[in-house]
Amino acid sequence: MRREPPRRAADYAPLVFPALMLLVFFVVPFGTMVAVSFFRRQPGGFYTPDFVLGNYERFLSPFFGNVLAFSLALATLAAICAVALAFPFTYLLTRRPRRVQTRWLIGLLSLLSLSEVIIGFAWSTLFSRTAGITNLLVALGLMSQPRALLPSFGAVLTGMVYQALPYAVLVLYPALVRLDPTLIEAARTLGAHPARAFFNVVVPALRSTIVAALIMVFVFELGSYLLPQILGRPQHWTLSVLITDQAIYQSNMPFAAAMALFLVLLSLALVGLTLLIGRKEGAA
């Protein structure tokens, strides 16, 4: 069984089903969406096949500009917080024995697969007046009265950081678990305090890993759809929410499609950037 190029027609057989499924159910829908983004919207919620740039021109409106700016800022902030917390955490995790790591990985994977709905619900409970952490603070005497902490920007940010944290850990894991432990040891024999060794040796060595993780988490956060709705006010809604809103409630598919396409291009550009960084690091 040698690895050769396919020769007979039968050699291509395994590829038929997957290729068909992916072409029909991914490429075609995607293409449909691209096409729809150029269609003309009719009042009443329909749209006719056309080629207008009107949907893209709406990008230039202040309303859209605000939402876009907010989405990007929120995603950036959440990504920075998540990676800043995840990096030392993952580092400490990878220094533990393998069995302990496995247990933690099970927990993190379980949290990661947790529905955005459930996370939203959990934090809305935590921030609520009747069952939230303010009750604890009142019991400790730090506050006079329990208060609802949502809807608010802080609540949305917390929820998004919470959602991104396991993801950030898993993105950082491969690089940190393979980190040479003798790097830190060498620094310590040269007189560096462990914390100092961490900041002066580990962080710079993994600079591109951190940047790549930031980008990956940023793209992940762009996809956040439910948390802004559950934990925030309409002014906190992100691009993803707007897209769905336009598509379903405002019946403006062309505009929604145009925004979605914009989001795709942005994400692809960023993912491409991540791969480029990874390649440069590998070549170095």
Partner 1 sequence: MSTRLLQRLFFGAITLFLAAPIVIVAGVSLNERQTLAFPPQGLSWSWYAEIFSDPGWRGALLASLALATLSAALATAIALPLAWFLWRRYAPWANIFRLLGVAPFVLPPVITALGLLSFWVTAGGYGQPWTAVISHAIFFVTLPLVTLTLGLDAIDRSLIEAASTMGADDRTVLRTVVFPLILPNLVCGYAFAFVLSLNEYIVAYMTIGFTLETLPIKIFNALRYGYTPTMASVSIFFIAISALVFTLVARWGDLPRLLGALPSDEH
Restricting to residues 148-177, which ones interact with partner 1 according to CB under 8 A? 162, 165-166, 170, 173-175, 177
Q: Contacts with partner 1: how many residues (CB under 8 A)? A: 90
* DSSP one-letter string for 129-173: TTTSHHHHHHHTTS-SS-----SSHHHHHHHHHHHHHHHHHHHHH
Which lies closer to partner 1 via its Cβ, residue 27 or residue 53? 27
Binding mask 73-102 for partner 1 (x = CB under 8 A): ------------x--xx--x----xx--xx
Per-residue b or e along 31-68, where b marks 16 or more CB atoms closer than 10 Å to that residue's CB: eebeebbbbebeeeeebeeeeeeebbebeeeeebeebb
In angstroms, give the least distance from the CB of 172 to partner 1: 10
In angstroms, give the least distance from the CB of 81 to partner 1: 11
State the Cα–Cα distance between residues 127 and 284, nearest whole angstrom.
47
In angstroms, give the least distance from the CB of 184 to partner 1: 12
210 binds partner 1 (CB under 8 A): no
Dihedral of CA 271/277/281/284: which sign? positive
In angstroms, give the least distance from the CB of 17 to partner 1: 6
Among the listed residues 77, 105, 202, 211, the single contact to partner 1 using CB under 8 A: 105
In angstroms, give the least distance from the CB of 227 to partner 1: 11
Residue 114 is classified by DSSP as S
15 binds partner 1 (CB under 8 A): yes
22 binds partner 1 (CB under 8 A): yes
- Bond into 151 cis (ω within 30): yes
State the Cα–Cα distance between residues 140 and 210, nearest whole angstrom.
38
Among the listed residues 222, 228, 232, 237, the single contact to partner 1 using CB under 8 A: 222
State the Cα–Cα distance between residues 243 and 236, nearest whole angstrom.
14
Among the listed residues 80, 116, 188, 203, the single contact to partner 1 using CB under 8 A: 116
230 binds partner 1 (CB under 8 A): yes
Binding mask 28-67 for partner 1 (x = CB under 8 A): xxx-xx--x-------------------------------
| Binders in 235-254 for partner 1, by CB under 8 A | 240, 243-244, 247-248, 253
State the Cα–Cα distance between residues 181 and 202, nearest whole angstrom.
10
State the Cα–Cα distance between residues 71 and 55, nearest whole angstrom.
19
